[in-house]
């Protein structure tokens, strides 16, 4: 069997995961990502001509498998807004080097698409669910979508064989931090895995303040006040969540502490934006534009060489620098989360 070549960056991190954004558009206006005050009716999203087509995306992913990628996550914006998305999922799922194709979605359209996505080869789905309180959920999504719509989408994913579903909740002080136990109870009762994420300073549009970050240690303590919990081992060294299991056997939850406990040294991710730029860090100011090469007819070997060049020169560790672990321009302008794909 041919061994997968090892591709390491300047800090010895191996490439394993590729996040593929298929659109910068979204049908939510979450305050921490795409606030309506900025992403309103007049906002200019990417023109269609600038967005990679499915064949171009597949060419990049296939080349990425030659330098270490085995896991692909389809993101947005809201990826289910991209027309014929199951076609892309099937193209990615049939690539020889890809062992796992997953999707991150806000869940609004999931009930419509879950079965077709599963049939196309989707293995897993992550749904953004910041609250199960109807009023808080409406407030947070910015467009008044009822939480029941997303819960129906989660149920549809389970029926399609995509469960247990992973639930992502961004916890923001004064907004949804009072509903942590209710979120955990919903995940426990339905057999889903909850990930509680510290509110991050991605992009420039949300007016991020450190005072609005709820540290993961506080989140864990809140859950531990209701249920007995114990630490659980990570599945892989590059996993970003610190996991805990319930002592009564009712599943697990995890916390993602990118603000208070950076995990840069284990990061194995590349991000491909909808318009073809590769970002080596969620907080990177600029990406490496692959679209000109793709549309000029770059060969597979040329794409592999470019991907290897980009990764082996990587030294990003923004969260460490922001937290004071070293020098750096942590205040520099950053692209928005909706553009980068989370």
**Residue 266 falls inside a structural domain:** yes
Name the domain count of the chain. Answer: 1
Q: Looking up tokens 């205040």, which residue turns up?
A: 331
pLDDT tens digits, one per residue of 314-331: 987 766 666 554 444 444
- Tell me the residue range of the domain where 329 lies: 17-340
pLDDT tens digits, one per residue of 7-44: 899 999 999 999 999 999 999 999 888 888 889 988 99
Report CA 150 to chain centroid distance, whole Å.
Answer: 17
**Residue 9 falls inside a structural domain:** no
> How many Å apart are CA 304 and CA 211, to the nearest integer?
43
**Residue 150 falls inside a structural domain:** yes
Is pLDDT above 90 for 57? yes
CA within 13 Å, CB half, 136 = 19
CB of 140 within 8 A of CB of 95?
A: no
**Residue 200 falls inside a structural domain:** yes
> How many Å apart are CA 113 and CA 118, to the nearest integer?
9
pLDDT tens digits, one per residue of 250-269: 999 999 998 888 777 788 89
Total residues belonging to the chain: 342
The confidence score (pLDDT) of residue 320 equals 65
Range from 126-130, 135-139, 240-244 carrying the lowest mean pLDDT: 240-244
CB-count exposure of residue 233 (10 Å: 0-12, 13-18, 19+): exposed
Q: What is the pTM of this model?
A: 0.90
The confidence score (pLDDT) of residue 239 equals 72
* CATH assignment of the domain containing 98: 3.20.20.70
The confidence score (pLDDT) of residue 185 equals 98
What is the percent of the chain with per-residue pLDDT over 90, rounded to a whole number? 75
Q: pLDDT band for position 283 (50/70/90)? A: confident
Instruction: Tell me the pLDDT of the chain averaged across its residues.
Output: 90
**Residue 10 falls inside a structural domain:** no
Q: pLDDT band for position 3 (50/70/90)? A: very low
> How many Å apart are CA 323 and CA 142, to the nearest integer?
30
The confidence score (pLDDT) of residue 322 equals 63
CB of 104 within 8 A of CB of 167?
A: no
> How many Å apart are CA 228 and CA 236, to the nearest integer?
24
What is the percent of the chain with per-residue pLDDT over 70, rounded to a whole number? 88
- Which comes out higher in pLDDT, residue 69 or 340? 69
Tally DSSP H helices, then E strands, for the chain.
11, 12
**Residue 5 falls inside a structural domain:** no
Q: pLDDT band for position 342 (50/70/90)? A: low
């Amino acid at each position: 069997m041919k061994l997968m070549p090892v591709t390491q960056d300047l800090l010895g991190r191996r490439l394993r995961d590729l996040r593929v954004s298929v659109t910068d558009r979204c049908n939510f206006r979450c305050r921490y990502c795409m606030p309506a005050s900025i992403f309103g009716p007049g906002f200019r999203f990417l023109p269609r001509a600038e967005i990679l087509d499915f064949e171009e995306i597949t060419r990049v992913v296939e080349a990425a498998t030659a330098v270490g990628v085995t896991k692909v996550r389809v993101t947005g914006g809201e990826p289910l807004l991209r027309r014929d998305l199951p076609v892309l999922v099937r193209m990615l799922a049939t690539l020889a080097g890809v062992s796992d194709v997953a999707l991150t979605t806000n869940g609004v359209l999931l009930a419509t698409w879950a079965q077709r996505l599963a049939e196309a080869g989707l293995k897993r789905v992550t749904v953004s669910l910041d609250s199960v309180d109807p009023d808080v959920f409406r407030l947070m999504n910015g467009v008044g979508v009822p939480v029941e719509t997303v819960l129906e989408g989660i149920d549809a994913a389970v029926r399609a064989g995509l469960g247990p579903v992973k639930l992502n909740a961004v916890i923001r002080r004064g907004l949804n931090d009072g509903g942590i136990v209710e979120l955990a109870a919903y995940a426990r009762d339905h057999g889903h895995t909850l990930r509680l994420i510290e509110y991050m300073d991605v992009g420039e549009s949300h007016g991020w303040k450190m005072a609005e970050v709820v540290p993961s240690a506080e989140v864990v303590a809140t859950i531990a006040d209701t249920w007995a919990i114990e630490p659980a081992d990570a599945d892989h060294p590059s996993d970003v969540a610190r996991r805990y299991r319930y002592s009564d056997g009712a599943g697990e939850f995890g916390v993602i502490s990118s603000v208070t406990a950076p995990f840069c040294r284990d990061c194995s991710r590349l991000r491909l934006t909808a318009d073809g730029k590769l970002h080596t860090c969620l907080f990177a100011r600029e990406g490496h534009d692959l679209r000109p090469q793709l549309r000029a007819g770059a060969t597979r070997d040329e794409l592999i060489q470019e991907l290897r060049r980009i990764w082996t020169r990587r030294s990003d560790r923004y969260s460490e620098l922001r937290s004071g672990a070293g020098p750096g321009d942590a205040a520099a302008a950053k692209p928005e989360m909706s553009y980068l794909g989370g």
